[in-house]
Structure 1
């Protein structure tokens, strides 16, 4: 069983996820890693986060196998932080947060960054939960089964 800071998180995947990456800095580090940021100094200057906080968050993300450390790809003595497969699987979460923010935190016609499909150059369509039969499914048509497997 994974270690959690919150005892009620033992059977809740949402609570476990929030315990691991739910703080501001961890999520923004992951976001920046998707945008191609790789080096400590680039994370720090882009985020404006204290060195000690960044060091702790990067260490935790590496320990959780969300990021891995490797030698810099340019052959310098630096090291890089790159997303693992587990980290890459957070893409849907980052996109969902982005789309929620676009819908609810900006005024109409207010400038903001956009995430584009590199093939079509169009913004991604709204992500929505889909049932096994392909129907878009709303929260009221779901339930949480709290049985432990």
Structure 2
């Protein structure tokens, strides 16, 4: 039996809380598509990166699917639904064995523990968040933090 070894070297996982990144609970596909272009360039995302876009409503899930084609879209309903959906992935999908780098695209403090845990397991972790929405707890937990402002990216008027 020939078992192929999957090369996980330099693989990246991007866990994106789209509502947090856009600063609104009612996202639109056009804004997500604009953010996608900005995000990919700002983070120098390789073509083979695994992108997960999370939301807290089924409508936002649908908008995410149209706005970020090719991404895995997940959702859990209610308050912090997107956060909880992304944390399920971070904790339950053997991320430390599958990826060398994880980017949390959110400023929510709820990701601080997961960021620390992954770093302690040898995974490079980055936080990418809008400066006005980033938690001090999350910033202190992560060795690599990249912040952007409304000048860098803002919603269409």
Q: TM-score, normalised by structure 1?
A: 0.26
More strand per residue: 1 or 2? Answer: 2
Q: TM-score, normalised by structure 2?
A: 0.25
Structure of higher RCO (CA pairs closer than 8 Å, 6+ residues apart): 2
Rg comparison, structure with higher value = 1
